[in-house]
């Protein structure tokens, strides 16, 4: 079971593709640190097909105007405390600006979250959504260290991961608890065995230093940045380390930088419960009958009964695997990332009540980074590695058991799932850096911070706390009254106008702007 922060990353494009197929059939760095590498030349060329660690699939299709995506590798120090030592290669992707050369601002660097998500595969998947930003920027993203093509963290193989994700992640008795703890220890031991060299060097502070090197190699005086989900935490850490290098930046789906891992998990329990409540209320409010319950309370009660039944006896999923309680819970969580997926959740629940678990399992596979060929990206391995290197707290089973009532009160459905996830780092071979990230960035340029009131994975309150933590005169909060993870990709005109106005024209929206 991955770290609770794992739920920040939603493989939305992979989910939609897989479901359509299924349903059709049925410390401070400094500029001086990197002077030896800041002058390197990037050799851009056509992008290859994604590696297995990036999620597999075909090479990115050309942009609508016929331009090709370009890829390159940037060298960075393996250990930023020894910048003259070993290096690693960081995979980059870009689409050059489409507008007039004299209107070009520079590069706009994206991080889409996770931690552990591949920017090299995600940016082209959503590239058309950022077409307007491309008129004045080269759109750039990357696989952070430990992710995808950038010296990926490797733990269990594909068959082992199938077994790992079939386990009971909400143990009910001593025997199940022992098995869960043993499986977590085996996962962590495999990470140490297969990736010992990279594990101490995948902290968010390392990735932030990589981004400042990237800024220099791309030829920009300032880092213009669009961070989503965990990408907001990475952006905040960058702003703390390099406040004078912050250009125009947007944080969307904002991680609360003031919380410990436990507080973040509890906040997510509340966030996913809120999203489930909203899904249930939406379903029963439609003119036609809701096929999964007569009232919102009935919808959630039937889901709870389904999960209890699956705990006792799984049903057929994607052959030859079965849909377990854990897989179903993960599938439900994945569907709550976007209101566009609520119809899939309804379909998946309706089928599961009839003994067919395929749709919920496809959703669960997307959450875990599994493609239709049975291959896993390294998003789970990278997510655990980065979170455990960042987060200082370590929890034991007795502590989790003491906290279960609080988590269950926050969410009867997701509470156990997220509480037991806190054991992910218990036996991790690398010590965690801090209780929470430092994002205080006095002197940085304004950063537009967007919170979504219905966000399940990064609850709305985190946006205000990020603004406070960044410091006076830095964070500018915008509220979106919507559903799903993030705001910009909702296509809300008010949100997009605010983002475009700042990134393209330098117009900072009024603080506490509200979009609905």
Q: Which residues are catalytic?
A: 229, 455, 485
* Strand segments (E) across 170-229: 223-228
Taking alpha carbons only, the member of 232, 228, 224, 223 closest to residue 112 is: 228
CA distance 449 to 254: 7
Q: Which element (helix H / strand E) includes 122?
A: helix 119-126
Give the Cα separation of 86 and 31 in Å (integer): 18
Residue with the two structure tokens 């029963």: 284
Q: Which of 125, 152, 112 is nearest to 253 (CA)?
A: 112
Q: Is the peptide bond before 413 cis (omega within 30 degrees of 0)?
A: no
CA–CA distance, 362 with 18 (Å, rounded to integer): 7
H/E stretch holding 246 = strand 246-252
Which residues are bridge partners to 452 per DSSP? 480
For residue 348 the two structure tokens come to 């998946």
Of residues 476, 443, 82, the one with CA closest to residue 249: 476
CB 118 within 8 A of CB 50: yes
């Amino acid at each position: 079971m991955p770290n609770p922060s794992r739920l920040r990353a939603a493989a939305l494009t992979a989910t939609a593709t897989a479901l359509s197929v299924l349903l059709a059939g049925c410390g401070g760095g400094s500029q001086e640190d990197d002077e030896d590498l800041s002058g390197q030349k990037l050799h851009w060329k056509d992008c290859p097909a994604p590696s297995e660690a990036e999620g597999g699939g075909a090479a990115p299709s050309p942009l609508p105007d016929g331009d090709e995506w370009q890829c390159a590798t940037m060298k960075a120090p393996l250990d930023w405390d020894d910048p003259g030592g070993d290096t690693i290669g960081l995979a980059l992707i870009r689409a050059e600006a489409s507008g007039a050369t004299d209107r070009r601002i520079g590069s706009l660097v994206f991080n889409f979250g996770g931690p552990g998500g591949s920017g090299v595969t995600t940016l082209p998947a959503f590239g058309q959504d950022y077409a307007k930003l491309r008129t004045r920027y080269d759109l750039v993203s990357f696989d952070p260290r430990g992710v995808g093509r950038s010296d990926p963290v490797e733990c269990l193989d594909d068959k082992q991961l199938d077994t790992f994700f079939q386990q009971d992640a909400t143990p009910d008795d001593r025997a199940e608890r022992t098995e869960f703890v043993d499986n977590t220890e085996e996962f962590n031991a495999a990470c140490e065995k297969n990736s010992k060299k990279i594990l101490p060097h995948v902290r968010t502070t390392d990735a932030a230093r990589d981004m400042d090197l990237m800024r220099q190699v791309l030829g920009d005086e300032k880092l213009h940045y669009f961070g989503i989900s965990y990408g907001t935490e990475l952006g905040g850490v960058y702003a703390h380390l390099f406040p004078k290098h912050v250009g125009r930046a947007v944080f969307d789906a904002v991680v609360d930088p003031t919380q410990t891992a436990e507080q973040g998990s509890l906040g997510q329990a509340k966030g996913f419960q809120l999203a489930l409540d909203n899904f249930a209320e939406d379903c029963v409010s439609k003119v036609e009958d809701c096929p999964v319950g007569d009232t919102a309370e009935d919808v959630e009660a039937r889901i709870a009964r389904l999960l209890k039944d699956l705990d006792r006896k799984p049903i057929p999923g994607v052959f030859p695997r079965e849909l377990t309680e854990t897989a179903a819970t993960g599938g439900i969580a994945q569907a709550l990332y976007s209101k566009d997926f609520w119809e899939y959740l309804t379909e998946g629940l309706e089928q599961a009540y009839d003994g067919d678990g395929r749709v919920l399992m496809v959703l669960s596979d997307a959450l875990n980074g599994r493609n239709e060929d049975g291959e896993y990206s390294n998003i789970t391995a990278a997510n655990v590695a980065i979170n455990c290197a960042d987060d200082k707290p370590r929890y034991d089973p007795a502590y989790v058991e003491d906290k279960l009532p609080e988590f269950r009160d926050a969410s009867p459905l997701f509470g156990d799932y997220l509480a037991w996830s806190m054991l992910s780092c218990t036996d991790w071979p690398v010590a965690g850096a801090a209780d929470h990230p430092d994002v205080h960035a006095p002197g940085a340029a304004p950063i537009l911070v967007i919170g979504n009131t219905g966000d399940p994975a990064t609850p709305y309150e985190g946006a205000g706390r990020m603004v406070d933590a960044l410091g006076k005169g830095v964070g500018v909060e915008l509220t979106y009254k919507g559903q799903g993870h993030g705001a910009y990709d909702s296509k809300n005109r008010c949100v997009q106008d605010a983002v475009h106005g700042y990134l393209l024209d330098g117009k900072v929206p009024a603080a506490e702007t509200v979009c609905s």
